[in-house]
Amino acid sequence: MTHTLHRVGNPESLSRDYILLFMPSKDINHVGSGPKLRKMLEISLKNGAIRIGDCRLGNEYYQGGLDKLLEHVEDRAVVHAVFNDLEKMTAALKELKSADLGLSVVVSGLFDKVRECCKISELPFHTVNNSLGRWGRTDRLPPQDVLELNTMCGHGMVTVKLIEDTATKVKNREMTPEQGAERLFKPCMCGIFNADRAAGLLEAMAQK
Amino acid sequence: MLIDPEKCIACGQCEVYCPVGAITIGDECAEIDFDECTECYNCLRMAHCPADAIYQQKLEWPRTVRSVLSDVLTIAPESGISGRGTEEMKTNEVTGRFKHGWAGIGIEVGRPVVGARFYDVEKIAMAMAKLGVEFESSNPTTSLMSDVKTGKFKDDVLNEKVLSAIIEFSVPLETLDQVLSGLKQVSRQIETVFSLCVASRVAPDGSIPTHSVMHQNGVWFAPNGKTNVGLGRPLIKEDSI
């Protein structure tokens, strides 16, 4: 439901983290939606998306490459594009509006930036979903830097142990921050884990 | 998920992929704590076991619940989509699920990191049911309730562990403060965490009506979140007139 929501981070780090989600609605416009969803992903890539993903069949790594991911998109899939640059995402939104493919688009990111981008793209702020954070036994949660990486996969597949192990390897120079981020990306089946942002976070963890 | 002790070489490659820390590495082989395992599939999918020792046993009720609510690639029959939830606000411009004057609530129990047993999910659902909420019927978590009026779950799922389960419903805006107050209380009675979200239509003047309720109740909300930008078609009647 909310796999692109609840991403933890400070505004500076989050300013490099935007996701476009594309989705048909069951029994309303899902028939024939596969090719439209594919087109939306292609528009995103053309405008500088750093990753694309498919909740139904898995990320590009799991499916064996970007071409296969694009080829396999089905009706009723939920697909995404990740951006690390607001201007590029705005350009993608403008082109998506022009393409008028008739499927829902949800933008995840800092609300004030997304509002700017909607204004430029002449798109409405239709419905919003706010994260009210974490409640209950928050004493059972890992430190903030680990949580920032973990919450970039809303389904929890980027585990705390994998993050800690990767951070140690980066610190010990057994892998670069970019290699570490790529390792963390792979279990995120929806492909919404922002490896670019993750590399920066891993680098900061290594300097502690 | 299980590990074949005859094949396992205790290399430890799988351990880091378990989101709930259910895999331990012994001297001769790795072991999965069967009661803690959520059947999320991450170890089998990602560890690339060099001995081919990890295998999926036959899943039977009520353990099947674990897979539906933990493995992202399992399709939930209630919603028809992968993942643990529903279309919620993502397609709101065509479904009209959340109308002006209403708030959509998503309580994702177990997220992040900790995971959840259904006895905790039930505590929260029963607290919300007392407010007279109607749980979202297409949500897979709702389908596990024995009584949607009280939020009671089927007895045989109560000890099942999942990565997360989403309690989902809508309430009139004037009830939102009671929901937040009820959640504050029940959050002190559970062994796990939950991530909370509140969705709403943006008012014609651009304001977000739920924000004032959250401010009045001293409830923090994040500067980042999700925005539906209204590109789905056909628009629901409320929007097209």
Domain coordinates in residue numbering, chain A: 11-121, 141-206
Number of domains in chain B: 2
Q: What is the pLDDT of residue B240?
A: 54
Q: Which residues of A touch B183 (CB under 8 A)?
A: 135
Q: What is the pLDDT of residue B199?
A: 97
**ipTM of this complex:** 0.96
Coil, strand, or helix at residue B195? strand
Coil, strand, or helix at residue B42? helix
Residues in CB range of A196: below 8 A, 6 or more apart: A16, A50, A84, A181
| Three-state SS letters, A71-137 | HHCCCCCCEEEEECCHHHHHHHHHHHHHHCCCCEEEEEEEHHHHHHHHHHHCCCCCEEEEEEEEEEC
Identify whether residues B84 and B40 lie together within a single domain. Answer: no
Using the Cβ of A139 and the Cβ atoms of chain B, whether some distance falls under 8 Å is answered with no
Residues in CB range of A205: below 8 A, 6 or more apart: A145, A167, A170, A171
Identify whether residues B154 and B178 lie together within a single domain. Answer: yes
Q: Which of B193, B229, B233, B239 to mutate to test the interface with A (most CBs of A within 10 A)?
A: B229
The answer to whether residue B62 sits within a structural domain is no
Range of the domain at B31: 1-57
Identify whether residues B44 and B85 lie together within a single domain. Answer: no
Name the token pair of B167: 């309690």
- The one-letter code for the residue type at A33 is S
The answer to whether residue B68 sits within a structural domain is no
Identify whether residues B6 and B121 lie together within a single domain. Answer: no
- CB–CB contact A28 B95 (8 Å): yes
- CB–CB contact A137 B183 (8 Å): no
pLDDT digits (tens, 9 = 90+) for B2-21: 999 999 999 999 999 999 99
Identify whether residues B123 and B168 lie together within a single domain. Answer: yes
Using the Cβ of A140 and the Cβ atoms of chain B, whether some distance falls under 8 Å is answered with yes
Indicate the pLDDT class of residue A80, thresholds 50, 70 and 90.
Answer: very high
Mean pLDDT of chain A: 96
Indicate the pLDDT class of residue A139, thresholds 50, 70 and 90.
Answer: very high
- CB–CB contact A136 B86 (8 Å): no
**What DSSP state is assigned to residue B58?**
P
CATH 3.90.320 for domain A11-121, yes or no, is: no
Say which of A29, A100, A187 has its CB closest to residue B94.
A29
Identify whether residues B20 and B112 lie together within a single domain. Answer: no
